[in-house]
Amino acid sequence: MAALTRRLLRPVHTLGKFVMLMAQAVSSIGEVSMYRKNLISQMTKIGIESLPIVSLAAFFSGAVMTVQTAYQMTGPFVPKSVIGSIVAPTMILELGVVGMAFVLAGRVGARIAAELGTMRVSDQIDALEVMGLNSVAYLILPRVLAGVIMFPVLYVAACTIGVGGGIVAADVGGYLSAEAFVQGAQMYFNPFDPFFGLIKAFVFGFLITSISCYKGYYTSGGAEGVGDATTEAAVASCVFMLFADLLLAAAFL
Amino acid sequence: MIQAENLHKRFGALDVLTGATLEVRDGETLAIIGRSGSGKSVLLKHLVGLLTPDEGRVLVDGTDINAISYEHLRTLRHQFGVLFQGGALFDSMTALGNVAFPLRTFTDEPEEEVRRRAEEALARVRLQGTAPKKPAALSGGQRKRVALARAITLEPRYLLYDEPTCGLDPQTSNTINDLINDLADDLNITSIVITHDMHSVLAIADRAALIHDGVIHWSGPTGAFAESDDEVLLDFVRANEYQIGVPSPTSKNGARERNGEKQLAGGVPVS
Ligand SMILES: Nc1ncnc2c1ncn2[C@@H]1O[C@H](COP(=O)(O)OP(=O)(O)OP(=O)(O)O)[C@@H](O)[C@H]1O
Ligand SMILES: [Mg+2]
């Protein structure tokens, strides 16, 4: 009975610990000198260095979606520009941001968890604390901040390149001209869509970095523990991201 | 002065500390000895607030470190230097970067002064040449010495060492023991040294405290080992003696060389 209660309470306990950690991070936000340098380096690592892979993924998903939509829309009564009307909003609302976040859960999340986990098991975090440093402000805050700042930036790049990929595929593949594509995209353009995408990018940026920081910061059990933390960070990031995606869609659309 | 009063700590079903009481006097070097897994590292982490006791308190110059705010605790920690068992060097920084880190973080000194002081600290542990190397390129003993240099850059009042000579060859161990002695003398540091190694205890410590069954089972001046009739202490000393003091047929040379430790070899009867 007691064991069962404990198992049922585990998620509550974990959530409490997570919230406490984030609360400590947020309450340290005034100690700018503690994390300024790390924030810049994390923005470079999370943002700039992710740009190539995010662009690649976005370009190809835009291109593939265009080819597939063209393949499905072959009826004589459907104007070709519909392809643009489908590809662009999908890219902006869902594919651009979710696809990007999946790539980054692996690239950014796993990296954060492995880095912090290694620091934990080799006593480096304790060493920071013992010097009188606020390890949460020094390690966690800059990573989470870099995430919520850089994910929206990457999202803008991903969308632009994704739609660009669609236009290139449409043109080169001979399905429709770039002008027709853009015209179709403009026809059903809703200014709320990119705004909603930005919100999603912000939320995903928070989820991926904070979950990975949590997993890494509380790693135990040596090299094996670091391996576990890394895997769990990537998996948990993806799962919570999908839930958040659904919740946000239900709330805003 | 550091005082631990009646510390209790339990991890799940495991009672590690069950009423440990300890006093560290200013200026002394205290060795904490005990078998592997007896809770030495756990006790040490309590002394700097890295672990919170389930019961009992830790007083640093009369201040209960678990009753103060986190900000206050951080200020108080500036008085401490800790040498972790594996060194705990930041592997993204060079040796010099590691040693300079506390200075860059906690002082406003100009870069040249930071470098000068960091190099001075490295020179103190006789590692001038390693300044540009990353921790991965250092040996275990070098890493410990760099960590020691890092721990002393801000001139702490208390230095805590977790097994500083564990896993090192006898010469390197002696170098580290000498360093601990030098630092205690030159900088007037109060030192707490966890060790398995009786040779180190006799070389550096004024007093020793033996942890056993979750409590400080015995404590006293190192010179009192010989007169003690405490069975647990004698067991511990004898086990060490067997290792380092008595020439055995299998390890003639090494054992004879280190047999110079007369206090130990002559002091305690070997059964
Ligand atoms: N964070 C923790 N969670 C659970 N158990 C722990 C934790 N830290 C220590 N222990 C347990 O407490 C006991 C004492 O550990 P401690 O590291 O203090 O031993 P030690 O005396 O330093 O041993 P050694 O000489 O081998 O370093 C061990 O059984 C260890 O498994
Ligand atoms: Mg230990």
Indicate the pairing of strand B63-64 with strand B55-60: antiparallel
Distance between CA atoms of A48 and A68, rounded to whole angstroms? 31
Distance between CA atoms of B142 and B147, rounded to whole angstroms? 8
Q: Is B254 in the pocket of ligand 1 (CB under 6 A)?
A: no
Q: Give a yes or no: residue A144 inside a domain.
A: yes
B151 Cα to the center of ligand 2, angstroms: 18
User: To the nearest whole angstrom, how far is the Cα of B211 from the nearest Cα of chain A?
Assistant: 23
Tokens of A175: 């399905």
pLDDT band at B242; cut points 50, 70, 90: low
Instruction: Name the amino acid, one letter, at A35.
Output: Y
Domains in chain A: how many in total?
A: 1
What pLDDT shows up at residue B247? 39
pTM here?
0.88
pLDDT tens readout for residues B141-157: 899 999 999 999 988 99
CATH code matching the domain that covers B2-79+156-267, chosen among 1.20.120.1200, 1.10.645.10, 3.40.50.300, 3.40.190.10: 3.40.50.300
Q: Return the closest-CA partner of residue B24 out of B8, B48, B53.
A: B48
A chain contacts of residue B91, beta-carbon cutoff 8 Å: 118, 122, 124
Note whether B89 contacts A124, CB cutoff 8 Å: yes
Beta-ladder partners of B32: B194, B209
Residue B77 touches partner A, C-beta closer than 8 Å: yes
Note whether A124 contacts B88, CB cutoff 8 Å: yes
Q: Give a yes or no: residue A66 inside a domain.
A: yes
Distance between CA atoms of A170 and A80, rounded to whole angstroms? 10
Q: Structural domain boundaries of chain B?
A: 2-79+156-267
Percent of chain A with pLDDT over 70: 100
Distance between CA atoms of A230 and A234, rounded to whole angstroms? 6
pLDDT tens readout for residues B165-209: 887 888 888 888 998 999 898 888 999 999 988 888 999 999 999
User: To the nearest whole angstrom, how far is the Cα of A124 from the nearest Cα of chain B?
Assistant: 5
Structural domain including A141 reads: 54-71+78-252
pLDDT tens readout for residues B96-142: 999 999 999 999 999 999 999 999 999 988 888 888 999 999 988 89
Q: Write the CB contacts of A143 (distance below 8 Å, at least 6 apart in sequence).
A: A38, A42, A46, A112, A209, A212, A213
Q: Which of A15-24, A216-225, B50-59, B222-231 has the lowest mean pLDDT?
A: B222-231
B214 Cα to the center of ligand 1, angstroms: 11
Proximal ligand: closest to the CA of B36: 1
A chain contacts of residue B84, beta-carbon cutoff 8 Å: 123, 126-127
